[in-house]
Amino acid sequence: MVELLAPAGDLDKLKTALIYGADAVFVGGQNFSLRARASNFSIDDLKNAAQFAHRLGKKIYVTTNIIPHQEDLDGLVPYLKALENAKVDAIITASPAIIHEAKANTNLEIHLSTQQSAINANTVNYWYKKGVKRIVLGRELSLTEINGVSAKTDADLEVFIHGGMCMSYSGRCSLSDNMTGRDANRGGCAHSCRWSYTLEIDGAKQEKLFSMSSKDLQALKQTVSLIEANVKSLKIEGRMKSQHYIATVVKTYRMLIDEYMKTGKINDYSIYESLISKSENRETSFGYLEGLPGLEQQLYSGQGEKPNQEFIGFVLEDSDDKNLVKIEQRNFFNVGDKIEVFSPNEEERYFTLTKMYDEEFNEIEVARHPKQVLYILIPFKVVSFSMLRKSDSND
Amino acid sequence: MKRLITIYDLISIEKISNDVDGFIVGSDLFSTRLTKSFSIEEINTIIDICISIDKEVFLIANQMFTDQQLEDFVKNIKKISYTKLTGIIIADIGALVSLSELGINDKVIYNPETLLTNSIDFNYLSDDNVFGAYVAKEITLDDILTIGKEKKHQLFMLGHGHLNMFYSKRKLLDNYQEFVESNQDLTNLQNLKIIEPKREDNPYPILQDGAGTHVFRSKVMNSLDYLDQLKEVVDYLVIDTIFKNDDYGIDVAKLYNKKYDKNAIESFINKYNEEWDNGFLDRKTYYKR
């Protein structure tokens, strides 16, 4: 059975990912992890997270994926032992130093990070023989090439299916280091490849700006081929993404995978494309999966960011017996708005908001304060972790 | 400490040879970011020239390889007098596996650009009995000295040149030309730069070759100020002459061979109108927790 692997920047996002259908999550600890600005987990957080995941029969992997400088190695072994003690299921790492110490001092399962840019069977098998159970392939491979690698290895393969794309071979970029001093391989990436540049040809500045920025990856239509290629884990990227994003993306791929597993085919991709589009705040494409990306897979000026104001609230508790629902506000909305309820195990449902109260149960008309706790009347039962979106639907 | 240099024309080998210990050559069949791409026949000629003048010769095979490209790489290696090479510089572990199958893992020098930043990572391939490895370009002099004290194989270091800071498989200049609806082919042109609005004083050279697109540091990195300390641990200091001709190579090789001479350095910088810095030798990168 293929694994759907989702990112989680904090415990709430972890719970959201697992409740919405991820089989496993990957999180950052407070040491040795990229995405330094993601709200990374303490050891106690990791214990709680592992308990939550294991209760659901699911897994948690911890990223230890920095490329450590000499000074960063202090404290590595105690940290790895603490991860083992927290009962995490594996570490994801790029550094042979971390692989070596994990093997020498713990029984942690080891996954090789995409930072090592494994893009051929020789490399995959090299690391597998060194005791690395799973290899996260570089994003530079087509479906045909992934299939070829898979046929030549006993290692578990993990492939990115959704999220941001490094424009460079991952781990081999020092744009950020050189342009800003921020070390991309130690969690400080400034995303310099997403900036706009002027191209100069033989001293002549070109009028139109040059871009190195990539559209995000979205592989709904390639997922079945990856499953058929015996890829063991399908990975969604984005530990810094919102709960709404994670819930939407995870649920979409969950439904797609389940349909394929149940029927052997996908009847209508447009259902999934429509659902996942509600989470997108950047344009998407299929990356390298259909071959070398061209202009169509890049972002140029005037494209790219798509503000997403549709997500208006997060359900904190199940409906009470009067159908009042405790929520947390995320974007502006009014009484009278048509609202879509998006839940882990239900189809989307719709209602028009008629009553809303603040935390002291004063009736209000407008929800204008981010993170404000509110009570709203929803004419059907909803469960915690449901999401509320503004809707244009006439359903 | 031996000094190696890349070259533009094989007729320059003898002129430069007084000031270096060896040469690095490659082919766009399996190399990337080259000063000049040579044919297999030219590479075999260069190997023989170097041997005849008692110089070391290294082949650079620093592309990232898919399975198919690795097969092609092995076919091409077999056409080269590889047993006569001093070493083969690779960027992809897959190439190490292929070269081990040819029985020449002891000629492999691993240069993954950014990844060898501590002594354990640097030494990791010693179990595979490789010739050596490059320390990352992004670490300090202190880190290099620490790694050097614990090294288990030959330590290589990029000591001079326009160092690479970005390697994408994508053909980003082709994509740009499609965006602006131009038919001009920018592949392998060495007169291209990109400029970021907040850093207008630092235009970054950009190159698209057969392996993808590369962006380079604006300033030329040099290590002349630190040679005395580097000599203690560095086995091979590499001078990369990408974007330069062999006149530059001859001059820069002399600088690194002679006793430190501040006036000669200033004269060189003025002659070639360059801006220099020390890369990360004296500057630490940082990251937020």
The tens place of each residue's pLDDT in chain A, 395 residues long, gives 899 999 999 999 999 999 999 999 999 988 888 765 656 899 999 999 999 999 999 999 999 989 999 989 999 999 999 999 999 999 999 999 999 999 999 999 999 999 999 999 999 999 999 999 999 999 999 999 999 999 999 999 999 999 999 999 998 999 988 899 888 888 888 889 889 999 999 999 999 999 999 999 999 999 999 999 999 999 999 888 899 999 999 999 999 999 999 999 999 999 999 999 988 778 999 999 999 999 999 998 655 555 566 899 999 999 999 999 999 999 999 999 999 999 998 899 999 999 999 999 999 999 999 999 999 999 999 999 999 999 865 44
What are B157-207's pLDDT values in tens digits? 999 999 999 999 999 999 999 999 999 999 999 999 999 999 999 999 999
State the pairing for strand pair B220-221/B236-239. Answer: unpaired
Q: What local confidence, expressed as pLDDT, does residue A34 receive?
A: 75
Helix (H), strand (E) at residue A190: none
Work out the end-to-end distance of chain B between its first and last CA atoms, rounded to an integer number of angstroms: 38
> In this predicted complex, what is the ipTM?
0.96
Chain A residue with Cα closest to B137: A174
CB environment A351-367: b (16+ within 10 A), e (fewer): bebeebeeeeeeebeeb
Residues of A in contact with B285 (CB under 8 A): 177, 181-183, 186, 188
Instruction: Determine the average pLDDT of the residues in B62-68.
Output: 98
- Number of CB atoms found within 10 A of residue A22's CB: 29
State the pairing for strand pair A373-377/A356-357. Answer: antiparallel
A286 in reach of chain B (CB within 8 A): no
Is residue A214 a contact partner of residue A283, using CB atoms and an 8 Å limit?
A: no
Nearest CA to CA, how far is B274 from chain A (Å)? 16
A294 in reach of chain B (CB within 8 A): yes
Do A96 and B64 make contact, defined as CB atoms within 8 angstroms?
Answer: no
Q: Between B66, B121, B179, which is nearest A208 by CB?
A: B179
Residues of B in contact with A217 (CB under 8 A): none
A380 in reach of chain B (CB within 8 A): no
Q: What local confidence, expressed as pLDDT, does residue A394 receive?
A: 47
For residue B289, pLDDT over 50 is answered with no
Higher pLDDT, A295 or B284: A295
Three-class secondary structure of residue A333 per DSSP = strand
**Burial class of B207 by CB neighbour count within 10 A (0 to 12, 13 to 18, 19+):** buried
**The overall pTM is greater than 0.90:** yes
Q: How many residue contacts between A and B have a Cβ separation below 8 Å?
A: 217
DSSP state of A353: -
Gap between the Cα atoms of A5 and A18, Å rounded: 9
Q: What local confidence, expressed as pLDDT, does residue A306 receive?
A: 58
A33 in reach of chain B (CB within 8 A): no
- Number of CB atoms found within 10 A of residue A20's CB: 25
Q: What local confidence, expressed as pLDDT, does residue A56 receive?
A: 98
Q: What local confidence, expressed as pLDDT, does residue A99 receive?
A: 97
**What length is written for chain A?**
395
For residue B217, pLDDT over 60 is answered with yes
Q: What local confidence, expressed as pLDDT, does residue A240 receive?
A: 86
Higher pLDDT, B259 or B39: B39
Is residue B253 a contact partner of residue B20, using CB atoms and an 8 Å limit?
A: yes
Is residue A29 a contact partner of residue A9, using CB atoms and an 8 Å limit?
A: no
Percentage of chain B with pLDDT > 90? 96
Token representation of residue A334: 């009014």
Token representation of residue B126: 């010693």
Q: Give B238's strand partners.
A: B4, B158
Gap between the Cα atoms of A325 and A381, Å rounded: 9
Do B124 and A100 make contact, defined as CB atoms within 8 angstroms?
Answer: yes
Token representation of residue A261: 């597993």
Gap between the Cα atoms of B147 and B213, Å rounded: 31
Three-class secondary structure of residue A336 per DSSP = coil
Tell which residue, B104, B125, B117, has the closest CA to residue A127: B125
Q: Between A115, A197, A294, which is nearest B195 by CB?
A: A197
Residue B241 identity (one-letter amino acid): T
Gap between the Cα atoms of B49 and B38, Å rounded: 14
